[in-house]
Amino acid sequence: MRKRLIIVHTLWLFLLLSMTGYAQSVDQIIKKANHVAYYNGKDGRAKVQMLIKDSQGRSRKRSFTILRKNINTNADGEQKFYVYFNRPTDMQGTVFLVWKKMEGDDDRWMYFPALDLVKRIAGGDKRTSFVGSTFLYEDVSGRRLSADKHKLLKTTGDAYVVESVPVDKSGVKFSKYIAHVDKKSFIPLKIEYYNSKGKVYRIYENKKWEMVQGKPTVIISSMKDLDTGVETYNRYTDVEYDVNIDDSIFSERYLRKAPMELINY
């Protein structure tokens, strides 16, 4: 009798497991996608070439190194980011530091080398432009999963199509966004943001990705603002995971005294 029960239970479990493997729940999809997009490894770094191209075809360029560390290595939670700018010349040495929180506002600092000033950026609105590009601060550090209600719209040949509707509509320009997540790697391939009129006004595209240290990693991505015609391209080189970046790097002290050995590698 007990044996049979165990078998039945095992069968159930097996069935359950195989089903979830076959058809992921929407929460799992976005959790995995979020992990791939922001939490690969316990820490990581990359060099980024940013190209901002306006509707007239004029371009502006930024070049920076980004360091990231996950605080809680068991769960995708708090993180710290350190962004060091190499170019343009005027921005060289500018540092942007974020302590991403799960509750309350993130802590953000900016260091202006020409003024030798550290400024804390007041919390609240994270949907401002990241150094003049079409990426927002929120795109750089990630949006809390609980901020939106997610729904699996459909499954195509190689992607899950998930619709996310903001819980609190004030303060965001989009009424919803629809993400295409790669079925195998869970890397986001495309995200379309809809305005209040139900029209797409902003598109994220993962134009190229590779496995780096066994982790799906974006190599070229873009964000196009259809209202202004401005598009930003990010190209990532020298992506590394599990570098063992010391926690102390992500502090106000290192804003003025950048860890160049970690940045120029």
Q: Can you give the binding site for another protein, defined by CB under 8 A?
A: 49, 51, 54-56, 58-61, 63, 86-91, 94, 110, 112-115, 117-122, 124-125, 127-133, 170-171, 197, 227-228, 230, 235, 237-238
Backbone angles phi, psi at 59, to 5 degrees: -125, 150
Nearer to another protein, 67 or 159 (CB): 67
How near is the Cβ of 238 to another protein at its closest, in Å?
Answer: 7
Nearer to another protein, 113 or 259 (CB): 113
Backbone angles phi, psi at 27, to 5 degrees: -65, -40
User: Closest Cα to residue 75, out of 47, 35, 113?
Assistant: 35
How near is the Cβ of 6 to another protein at its closest, in Å?
Answer: 56
Alpha-carbon dihedral of residues 165, 166, 168, 173, nearest 10 degrees?
Answer: -110
How near is the Cβ of 86 to another protein at its closest, in Å?
Answer: 7
Residue type, 216: P
Nearer to another protein, 94 or 222 (CB): 94
How near is the Cβ of 219 to another protein at its closest, in Å?
Answer: 9
Could you give the CA distance from residue 105 to residue 137 in angstroms, rounded to a whole number? Answer: 13
How near is the Cβ of 155 to another protein at its closest, in Å?
Answer: 32
How near is the Cβ of 74 to another protein at its closest, in Å?
Answer: 33
Backbone angles phi, psi at 119, to 5 degrees: -125, 135
Nearer to another protein, 12 or 171 (CB): 171
Other beta carbons less than 10 A from residue 181's beta carbon:
27
Nearer to another protein, 55 or 146 (CB): 55
Nearer to another protein, 9 or 88 (CB): 88
User: Closest Cα to residue 204, out of 222, 182, 229?
Assistant: 222
CB burial of 62-84 (b: ≥16 within 10 Å; e: otherwise) equals bbbbbbbbbbeeeebeebbbbbb
Nearer to another protein, 31 or 60 (CB): 60
Alpha helices in the chain (DSSP H): 2-22, 26-38, 137-141, 253-256, 260-263
The three-class DSSP label of residue 103 is: coil
How near is the Cβ of 20 to another protein at its closest, in Å?
Answer: 39
User: Closest Cα to residue 41, out of 216, 189, 187?
Assistant: 216
Could you give the CA distance from residue 28 to residue 186 in angstroms, rounded to a whole number? Answer: 10
How near is the Cβ of 103 to another protein at its closest, in Å?
Answer: 20
Nearer to another protein, 72 or 128 (CB): 128
